[in-house]
Amino acid sequence: MPATVILGAQWGDEGKGKLVDRLAEEASWVVRFQGGNNAGHTVVLGDSVLKFHLLPSGITRPSCNLVLGDGMVIDPWVLDKELQGWMESSGEDPRGHRLFISERAHLILPYHRYMDSLDTKIGTTGRGIGPTYADKINRVGLRFGDLSEVVGDDAWASATSERMNAALVAAGSSERVDAKGLQSDVAWIHQTYEACIANTGLMLDNALKLEEHVILEGAQGCLLDIDQGTYPFVTSSVTSHGNATHGAGIHPGHVKDVIGITKAYITRVGHGAMPTELDDEAGHHLGTVGHEFGTTTGRKRRCGWFDAVVMRHAQRINGFTGLALTKLDVLGGLEEIKICVAYELDGQQITEMPSSASALARCKPIYTSMPGFPEMSLPEWLAMAVHANEAGKGIGVLPTAAQLYIAQLETLVGVPCVSVGVGPDRDATIDCL
């Protein structure tokens, strides 16, 4: 069975965790292939709300194996905290049994967090992601597979701490790295994760040859991609389809379906232009009804109307075979719903995103309007979704205006919807026919 790639098609926070959790029921493996704990996935199971930053969303499926892939940067202390929480709630320690860490994944160390805390321009999460990727590119980073080589190596600890402290001084930080402390950290990390460090690319390749279903789970979103996003207000890794297999350690031929996750509107956290951002009653409605606060940082998300220009860019980069539309229920109760179909830039109409952040900031949205549909409670939306799937009715159960809105998005992006989310619960998702 080929691999399936699940990607964010906007600026992140689109609801990837919920979809992956749902699809993981029929998958053998869920793999994170990039990013670190600057990502956040929320999975709602009835009254339980589970929030993960590093553990793949398939953790809730006992038969599903989990991989933190080659392209990730991993904070071992954050991962340990997540594992401790999972063990307390489930009684399971998955390390080495169904959770595996790539020997090629890079370690986030305290130094990287110190450096990241100095950011005042981009609006990063401060988790050390960018500085860790910088060390990776500069070929001075530490990988999980190298831990056994440097444990107890005084010369390595001394040289590494000197390099780190020189960089901290140059950056104006008052923090310092102690060689003995670094040695102690490396020893603890090695002891804590030795059982689950593995050649995960080989494991996945063998699984695919045995026709096991593998889900490649992206973090952040296409518009935060270091190459294809709204640079410089982006993350530090390639978040798009091109990196999915590479960051997992397998070849692109394994992939058949690429699902792009998109909200029925759009949100963004951090700095950078967002042409459809709303600072009015409709924006307040989206933020309040949608509970738009970041899983990782708790920061309030900026909200705006659906942006088809953004989505066409995401489609060109990723080649989505289907769209998973989330949070359609949040639009309920609005009399009018707008969709951005183009921009006005310096008096000219354009239909593609400019690469310049300054130019994007000058873009004014050009909208088409559609009628709204009634507000319903979350239990009503959930009941509608369950009925739709049990009866095989698909989106035919939705209000006519909602069906027309979905059809318009499909036309503008050029990709069919494969599912529609109408609430936070795992089962509040309608499978499209």
Q: Would you name the residues annotated as active-site residues?
A: 13, 41
Helices within 198-257 (DSSP H only): 200-209, 241-244
Q: 87: Cβ–Cβ under 8 A, 6 or more apart, which residues? A: 93
* Collapsed DSSP state (helix, strand, coil) of residue 99: strand
- Buried/exposed 206-238: b ≥16 CB within 10 Å, e otherwise: ebbeeeebbbbbbbbbbbbbbebbbeebbbbbb
Burial (0-12, 13-18, 19+ Cβ within 10 Å), 96: middle
Q: Cα dist. 188→226, 302, 342 in Å?
A: 32, 39, 53
Q: Angle 407-279-240 (CA atoms, 0-180°, nearest 5)?
A: 50
d(C-alpha 383, C-alpha 352), whole Å:
39
Helices within 138-178 (DSSP H only): 147-150, 154-171
Which residues make beta-bridge pairs with 340? 307, 367
Q: 393: Cβ–Cβ under 8 A, 6 or more apart, which residues? A: 387, 433
- Count of beta carbons in the 10 Å neighbourhood of residue 325: 27
Dihedral, 138, 143, 147, 151 alpha carbons, nearest 10: 20
The position carrying tokens 């000219």 is 348
| Run of H or E including 110 | helix 110-116
d(C-alpha 187, C-alpha 1), whole Å:
40
The position carrying tokens 């921009």 is 343
Q: Are β-strands 348-350 and 336-345 bridged in parallel, bridged antiparallel, or unpaired?
A: antiparallel
d(C-alpha 144, C-alpha 76), whole Å:
10
Candidates 102, 82, 133; CA nearest to 31 is 102
Q: 333: Cβ–Cβ under 8 A, 6 or more apart, which residues? A: 285, 289, 372, 374, 375
